[in-house]
Amino acid sequence: MHIWVDADACPTVIKDILFRASDRWETPLTLVANQMLRTPPSPRIRAIQVPRGFDVADAYIVERLQPGDLLITGDIPLAAQALEKGAFAIHPRGERYSADTIQERLAVRDMLDALRGTGVDTGGPPAMAASDRKAFGNTLDTLLARHARPR
């Protein structure tokens, strides 16, 4: 299993959890963003800077995702592409995307986009809370315990 992170919008606290998990599970971790990222020194952790542009980071990740890999993203269409490739996907707030729920999530996203297009203020996500960090850590640990193979 390789962990991929759509890192442009990934909260720092979630990256920190992922850095620790990568070391603990001896699992490779790659953060992909259109800006420079700092990572701790580790032979398993790397950051890739892609050019700026619409969905450039997403395309980079999708091209390299393998069945059984894990993607961390808040981008619902990207999560849907990961699931189609046989990868796992987790939202930074701890929700595990699944084939059973992704179509509904895409429909809600499209509806909110349409509302915003008409000028309706749909608001943004709330700030990350301790409960979100805990939910993410629990979901990540559960998935890694079932699917990661420590070296």
Number of domains in the chain: 1
Mean pLDDT of the chain: 90
> In this structure, are residues 124 and 107 in contact, taking their beta carbons and an 8 Å threshold?
no
Its domain, for residue 83, covers 3-147
- End-to-end, the C-alpha distance of the chain in Å comes to 11
76 contacts 102 by C-beta, under 8 angstroms:
yes
**Domain containing residue 13: CATH number:** 3.40.50
- Given this model, what pLDDT does residue 5 score? 98
pLDDT of residue 53: 87
Question: pLDDT at residue 151 above 60?
Answer: no
Distance CA 18, CA 37 (A): 14
17-49 residue pLDDT tens: 999 999 999 999 999 999 999 999 999 999 999
Q: Give the per-residue pLDDT at 117.
A: 79
- For residue range 103-139, what is the model confidence (pLDDT) as tens digits? 777 667 666 677 667 887 777 777 889 999 999 999 9
Please report the sign of the dihedral spanned by the C-alpha atoms of residue 121, residue 104, residue 136, residue 11. negative
Q: What is the pLDDT of residues 72-110, one digit of tens each?
A: 999 889 999 999 999 999 999 999 999 888 777 766 766
